[in-house]
Amino acid sequence: MKYIKDFAIVSNERLDDRNVLLKLRPVDGQMPDTKPGQFVQVQAPAAQDTFLRLPISINNVEDGLLWLMVQMIGEGTRAIGQMKEGQSLNLVLPLGNGFSIDEFWNTDSRSMRPQVLLVGGGVGIAPLLYAGRVLKSRGVEPTFLLGARTASGVLERSLFEQIGRVLITTEDGSLGTRGFVTQILSDSQIVELSSFSKIMVCGPKPMMIAVARCAKQNGVDCEVSLENMMACGLGACLCCVEKTINGNLCVCTDGPVFNINQLTWQI
Ligand SMILES: Cc1cc2nc3c(=O)[nH]c(=O)nc-3n(C[C@H](O)[C@H](O)[C@H](O)COP(=O)(O)OP(=O)(O)OC[C@H]3O[C@@H](n4cnc5c(N)ncnc54)[C@H](O)[C@@H]3O)c2cc1C
Ligand code: FES
């Protein structure tokens, strides 16, 4: 079931010079069921030239609040980022398929707890917080690998650290290992890739391709969350299609999460 709902802004926290964290409460008090990896389409009310809704991943759902991490890169996201506590935002949700976490259902009883590696770059870390929280509640040990340009771009670090092991790479070396996330993936002293049941990735496409390649080389199942340009978000306009082994699929409805075996990427 999809909903069009008004949400009241409970808080708007500046995370760094480009990113904000919005915590939203449904005005009617009814929070729709959501899955990690799903997204919402946000109406940016103050932006005169932004008539299309903007797709934003669900960063978390906790204590009756829906969290959105927004990187202010254009008119729509800047307008949303400048909104104040008490104002309201209209959302369409929940959209997309989400990560396949249902295979990890109450795994506490097993002797070997499965391990999942969640790799995020830039604002692509947003859906991984929610994914990590839900996986942990199901007895999975999440390890996060977060990549950013500099230390200040590693957002919500302390929240990730409350959930699982956190590995960090920064391009300038100001935090964690210097370089890209693949620096760590190729160092078996730091992570033994074959020990993971699954890798879940969200971030810039070159990063996702590089991680997909490492996953394939090590025989680990891997899912990526694509951020193709979108308009309707509902499978009608076809502007978000991705070529797959099953033909062109809409990222907004068939994705945004795809197993790398479904994609035609050269990896
Ligand atoms: C499924 C999905 C989940 C997303 N989750 C988040 C999220 O959690 N947080 C967040 O901040 N952003 C997220 N995005 C990206 C976000 O939707 C865009 O940044 C936003 O729509 C840009 O709107 P704008 O009006 O601010 O900028 P525009 O003026 O429309 O664009 C500004 C610049 O950003 C580029 N851009 C616009 N959309 C995208 C996109 N989808 N991918 C890459 N570049 C883009 C444009 O080419 C342009 O260079 C997500 C996108 C998708 C498809
Ligand atoms: S955004 Fe319109 S079909 Fe996906």
Q: What is the pLDDT of residues 204-248, one digit of tens each?
A: 999 999 999 999 999 999 999 999 999 999 999 999 999 999 999
46: pLDDT strictly greater than 70: no
Query: Given 1.10.3720.10, 2.40.30.10, 3.40.640.10, 3.40.50.150, which CATH number is that of 3-95?
Result: 2.40.30.10
Mean pLDDT of the chain: 94
What does 9-61 look like in DSSP terms, one character per residue? EEEEEE-SSSEEEEEEEETTS-PPP--TT-EEEE--TT-TT--S-EEEE--EE
What pLDDT band is residue 186 in, cutting at 50, 70 and 90?
confident
Ligand 2 pocket, 231 CB below 6 A? yes
Residue 107 pLDDT: 60
Q: Which atom of ligand 1 is nearest to the CA of 255?
A: 1
Domains 3-95 and 228-267 fall in the same CATH topology: no
Question: What pLDDT is attached to residue 111?
Answer: 54
* Domain ranges, ordered by start, for the chain: 3-95, 107-225, 228-267
241 lines ligand 2 (CB under 6 A): no
pLDDT at residue 263 in the model: 97
Ligand 1 centroid–CA 176 distance in Å is: 27
SS3 assignment, position 182: helix
Residue 240: what pLDDT? Answer: 97
pTM (2 d.p.): 0.95
Looking at residue 75, what DSSP letter applies? H
Instruction: Answer for the pair 93, 119: CB distance below 8 angstroms, yes or no.
Output: no
Residue nearest to atom 41 of ligand 1 (CA): 229
**Alpha helix (H) residue ranges in 117-204:** 126-137, 157-163, 181-185
Query: Is the CB of 54 inside a 6 Å radius of any atom of ligand 1?
Result: yes
Q: What pLDDT score was predicted for residue 75?
A: 92
- The whole-number pLDDT of residue 142 equals 96
Of ligand 2's listed atoms, the one at least distance from the Cα of 253 is: 4
Q: Is the pLDDT of residue 267 over 90?
A: no
User: In the prediction, which pLDDT does 50 show?
Assistant: 67
Say if residues 225 and 37 touch (Cβ distance below 8 Å): yes
In one-letter notation, the amino acid at residue 175 is L
For atom 4 of ligand 1, which residue has the closest CA? 56
Residue 207 and residue 125: Cα distance in Å, rounded? 12
Q: Is 250 exposed, middle or buried (0-12, 13-18, 19+ CB in 10 A)?
A: buried
Instruction: Domain 228-267: give its CATH architecture.
Output: Ribbon (2.10)
Ligand 2 center–CA 59 separation, angstroms: 21
50 touches ligand 1 (CB under 6 Å): yes
> Which ligand has the shortest distance to the CA of 229?
1
Q: Which CATH class is domain 107-225?
A: alpha beta
For a pocket test of ligand 2, which of 239, 242, 249, 258 has the largest count of ligand atoms closer than 8 A to its C-beta? 239
Q: Give the single-character DSSP code of 128.
A: H
pLDDT value of residue 51:
77
Q: Which atom of ligand 2 is nearest to the CA of 233?
A: 1
240 lines ligand 2 (CB under 6 A): yes
* Closest-approaching ligand to the CA atom of 21: 1
Q: 249 CB less than 6 Å from ligand 2?
A: no
* Least confident piece of the model among 42-46, 115-119, 148-152, 154-158: 42-46
Give percent of the chain with pLDDT exceeding 70: 95
CB 249 within 8 A of CB 255: yes
pLDDT (tens digit, 9 = 90+) per residue, 52-95? 899 999 999 999 999 999 999 999 999 999 999 999 999 999 99
Nearest ligand to residue 76 Cα: 1
Nearest Cα residue to 61 out of 44, 79, 39? 39
As a whole number of angstroms, the distance between CA 139 and CA 156 comes to 22
